[in-house]
Structure 1
Amino acid sequence: MSKITLFIASSLDGFIARENGEIDWLFTDADYGYTEFYDSIDTIMMGRKTYEQILTFPEYPYPGKTAYVFHRSPHLYNHPDVIFINQNLLDFVPNIIPNSKGIWLVGGGEIFHEFLKLNLIDEIILSIHPIILGTGIRLFLNSPDQINLKLNASQKYDSGLVQIHYTVMK
């Protein structure tokens, strides 16, 4: 059975993007394990706001992967590589897991919150960039319950970036 992984970067103060959605502060000088992780998954899930941010990129970044975008009005969009979903997460996600090699929950904060609340995330790989943004889009909204994590690994890079890999205890 595949895992749902939150593989994401944040500032030291817990923001995943500036208030306008910009991620210009993210390091791009090294791979930081991205390629290995990307090769381990075949399915991508994201919310509408993350998808809209991706639409601003010069190219669609996830060719060859099955991508699901959760949206209340899926008929508003059309993309050949994306399946738009307007369905309860607990009804939809468990049916995808058995048929996937690995699932990457790309973003954003609101969809993370829903997946965490419903106990659907199996692991978190968080790359903390050595920057304090002060304001922006928070990685974690207020969680309704305590969520215990088990540390699997941590790695420090010369750039100052620290990557931590947790298993979500269920």
Structure 2
Amino acid sequence: MRKIILYIAQSLDGKIARLNGDVDWLERFPNPEDEDYGYASFYASVDVTLMGNRTYEKILSFGIDFPYADKENYVFTQQKGKQDTKFVKFIGDDLVSFVRVIKKEEGKNIWLVGGSEINTLLFNEGLIDEIYLFTMPVTLGEGIPLFTDQLAERQLHLAEVSSYSSGVILKKYRLLEE
């Protein structure tokens, strides 16, 4: 069975974006070694992305080519009438059942890109297998949290910790079976 991996960065105070969804703060660190923090290797290990509609809309606002064009991409939305695009399929109904089905399909791992509502939904349903959590050396004060307030209590296993000269810390967690 494929794994769903939440691969995401947060500020030291647990925010994944500013209140308006901006992630400009991710680019404000010195990175003298031009470290990719394992991104290329991780990206090669997945063939599907999952994300919420606000995350998708924010990616589109960057004014760049869609960054995951070589993957199957699913955007979860409650907006009716969204039309699939060349790179994205919109999923509006029974998200949990949909994720359970694609998790059982053949293929590489699945990247849960975010945001907080879909992170919480899949976490609470026990569908996230691993979390790669990059903590950036910055505080935002206000912002969008990693998870919403409705997060279920779950046990996790800290599998690995890595630190980088930029001050970034990666913690890899595996969720324990209940």
Superposed displacement of residue 117, structure 1: 1.2
- Structure 1 pair 133/144, CA: closer, same or farther in 2 (3 Å)? closer
Unaligned runs of 5+ in 2: none
Q: How does 1:65-80 map to 2 (within 5 A)?
A: 65-73=71-79, 75-80=81-86
State, as a whole percentage, how many aligned pairs show the same letter: 44
Higher deviation after alignment, 67-76 or 52-61 = 67-76
Is residue 153 of structure 1 aligned with residue 160 of structure 2? yes
CA contact (8 A) 1:130 1:160 kept: yes
Q: CA RMSD in A?
A: 1.4
Superposed displacement of residue 89, structure 1: 2.3
Q: Deviation digits for residues 2-31 of structure 1, max 9, x if unmatched?
A: 100000000000000011111111147420
CA contact (8 A) 2:120 2:151 kept: no
Unaligned runs of 5+ in 1: none
Distance in 1, Cα, partners of 2:137 & 2:151? 28
Q: Deviation digits for residues 126-169 of structure 1, max 9, x if unmatched?
A: 00000011110011222443111101111010000000000011
Q: How does 1:1-170 map to 2 (within 5 A)?
A: 1-27=1-27, 29=31, 30-57=35-62, 58-73=64-79, 75-99=81-105, 100-170=107-177
Query: How many residues are aligned here?
Result: 170
Distance in 2, Cα, partners of 1:12 & 1:89? 30
- The letter of the residue matching 1:3 is K
SS at match of 1:63: coil
Q: TM-score, normalised by structure 1?
A: 0.95
* Runs ≥4 residues deviating over 4 A: none
CA contact (8 A) 2:54 2:115 kept: yes
SS at match of 1:25: helix
CA contact (8 A) 2:47 2:72 kept: yes
CA contact (8 A) 1:154 1:163 kept: yes
Q: Deviation digits for residues 33-77 of structure 1, max 9, x if unmatched?
A: 111100000000001100110111211010110000111235234
